[in-house]
Structure 1
């Protein structure tokens, strides 16, 4: 069975990070091998939570895996709390990545034109190092701009695009996608692009390769929910090690998330609790 090493935190509440990645990767027929970066009582969107930082224990876990001659088919990095953790992720890739290892990096740094409290320019530079090791990256627009330009110019660019029409925004994202693929020599999936067309609201994702760009779009329902990015990236990482085309994986992720979001809206689920995805996990499995 193929294996993916997943570097992310474990949050008891919130259906994100490892609690999202493990069931998704597993049901898709790939073994998820978690390397926790922190243990939290609940994800950080909740008003109160406890966090046990694992940065100083990540080396110990990596050393033990090396003793076992561990060779993952894929490596997936998600939320990293600071530059020190990002440095550990870089070290992990340098230790365990082989020529055939598929790396997916979700460069979690911000959203909606604002960087997260964890953001520093040092963290961003480490993320750029990770991105250069990846086969696929999954930034939102904010994170794409941070990777390209850093914090100051990201804010300048965000002010510029805030008044764009839907069509103007999509064209702008295509330009950003081309810049990402050229600068980092990577396949980029720019996620969660919210726009309107003829009065209807949509969410789009742009798949950017050097020779082509592909849009995958669905109607928008509800707001922002914890863990949707983790679920999305997990589906892509499992598909990647199985040789699935990225566009097919993105479409599968979009269909899967749409159903879980719909149920969360119907139930009135708080955004911090995440979406109702468990019922639809079976749809991710390959039927033989």
Structure 2
């Protein structure tokens, strides 16, 4: 198959997220990951202390050297960005390597749980929205969906009914479907099921379709789950699977990993025990 995905994200020594997650997932799916680090961290930012080396001034070297190789990518996946200046560098990378047959997935890392991250600025939002407009698939959580669409991040708490929540998410997602066949995949939506339990779902939105793809909710929040989901989605699409089938596969994969993580009492910052379940992704 020899499919290649350029993975533009940070590299964290501890936390099992970002490039660590993407490289292992894509490799298991039979897709070659080509990492471009946006930053190198001793450990992901959820820990009390970490060191971060900003790679903004190194991104152009990748564009130049990979251009010399006449590289072609079947997919490009962008994640954590250090700021608007780095996004400008990534846009130059896309100008060179994003072709009509290249699937671009943008994970607009800006916030979670109703609040923006510390690096967030209005300029970053504008730059991230510009990047998201170029994408074929974007994978915001609800907070990031609000930031991209200009809505109040705290509004999720006001939407108690599931139908109202999905409809509101759909309305915001449609605003971001700026081109035909674009997919907005809103991740980590928690809701009560009719039997009194809880589910966590991902809302799949296109101009013509909206559906919830859900699994039973397991208590807890762990580093890297969004990275694992996004990596599985871009890997699946590149190898010819549909987005919905791949999201369902990612859900089953993460369920197994999360159950084992909870059983083993792994600290949330250490991420999920996904490695032993990578075989589920092999086609």
- Do they superpose with TM above 0.5? yes
Tell me the distance in 2 between the aligned counterparts of 1:184 and 1:210: 7
Q: Within 5 A, what are the aligned runs for 1:18-167?
A: 18-149=19-150, 153-155=151-153, 158-159=154-155, 161-167=156-162
Separation in 1 of the partners of 2:69 and 2:158?
A: 54
Count of aligned pairs between the two proteins: 280
Tell me the CA shift for residue 184 of structure 1. 9.2
CA contact (8 A) 1:132 1:185 kept: no
How far apart are the structure 1 equivalents of 2:48 and 2:96? 37
Give 5+ residue unaligned stretches, structure 2: none
SS at match of 1:181: coil
8 Å CA contact 1:190, 1:207 repeated in 2:
yes
Counterpart selection for 2:271 from 244, 265, 274: 274
Q: Give the drift of 1:269.
A: 0.8
TM-score, normalised by the number of residues in structure 2: 0.95
CA distance in 1, matches of 2:90, 2:220: 31
Residue segments in structure 1 that go unaligned for 5+ positions in a row = none
TM-score (norm 1): 0.94
Relative to structure 1, is the Cα distance of residues 264 and 46 closer, same or farther in structure 2, using a 3 angstrom cutoff? same
Aligned to 2:11: 10
Counterpart-to-counterpart distance in 2, 1:268 and 1:166: 32
- Alignment check: 8 A CA contact 2:133 2:178 kept: no
1:202 has 2:196 as partner:
no
After alignment, is 127-136 or 248-257 more displaced?
127-136
Contact 2:201–2:212 (Cα < 8 Å) also in 1:
yes
State the shift of 1:75 in Å: 0.5
Q: What secondary structure does 1:162 align onto?
A: helix
- The residue aligned with 1:283 is 280
**1:222–1:261 CA contact under 8 A, matched in 2:** no
Deviation at 1:237, TM superposition (A): 0.6
CA distance in 2, matches of 1:228, 1:117: 20
